[in-house]
Amino acid sequence: MDVNVRGICGALAFVAVVVATVAVAEQGAHVPRPKLIQIDPSATQSNPLLSGPPETVTMRSGSVVLLPSKNVGRHSTGQNEEALVVFSGTGEMRLADGTVLKLKPYVVAYCPPATEHDVFNTGSEPLRYVYVVARAR
């Protein structure tokens, strides 16, 4: 008996894709699509970039314009982890345990899950950064 291994493998792969697709559909999940988002470098206020499901799996992000002497307000990452990518200005990420992360252009600040923190603009010009938040587990 002549067996077409490639054909069988192809059929099994097709079945696996169908089963996975059905499983995803039954769970109400979706597959996010790739995209580009233009950030306005002259923005005078904060703007959302990614708003979470169904646009992403769990990720949310936004561009922030924080004026001198202002802060975003103390909050916790909860079950999420957060990264800030700084583009201009200077500031600090202050953690509840007393840790201070100095923010300046072209640094990335990471904040782990369950961490209370606040972001302050300590400079004389707007602090501009993008935050990215995603579920940690």
Note the pTM of the prediction, 2 decimals. Answer: 0.76
Question: For residue 133, what are the β-bridge partners?
Answer: 60, 82
Question: At 108, which CATH number?
Answer: 2.60.120.10
Residue 98 in any domain: the answer is: yes
Same domain, yes or no, for 122 and 69? yes
131 with 117: CB under 8 angstroms? no
Residues whose CB falls within 8 Å of the CB of residue 75, separated by 6 or more in sequence, listed in order: 116, 117, 118
Per the listing, tokens 């950064």 go with 129
Tokens found for residue 14: 């097709």
| Interval 75-121: pLDDT, tens | 999 999 999 999 999 999 999 999 999 999 999 999 999 999 999 99
| Interval 4-18: pLDDT, tens | 334 333 333 333 333
Domain of residue 5, residue span: 1-31
**pLDDT of res. 8:** 32
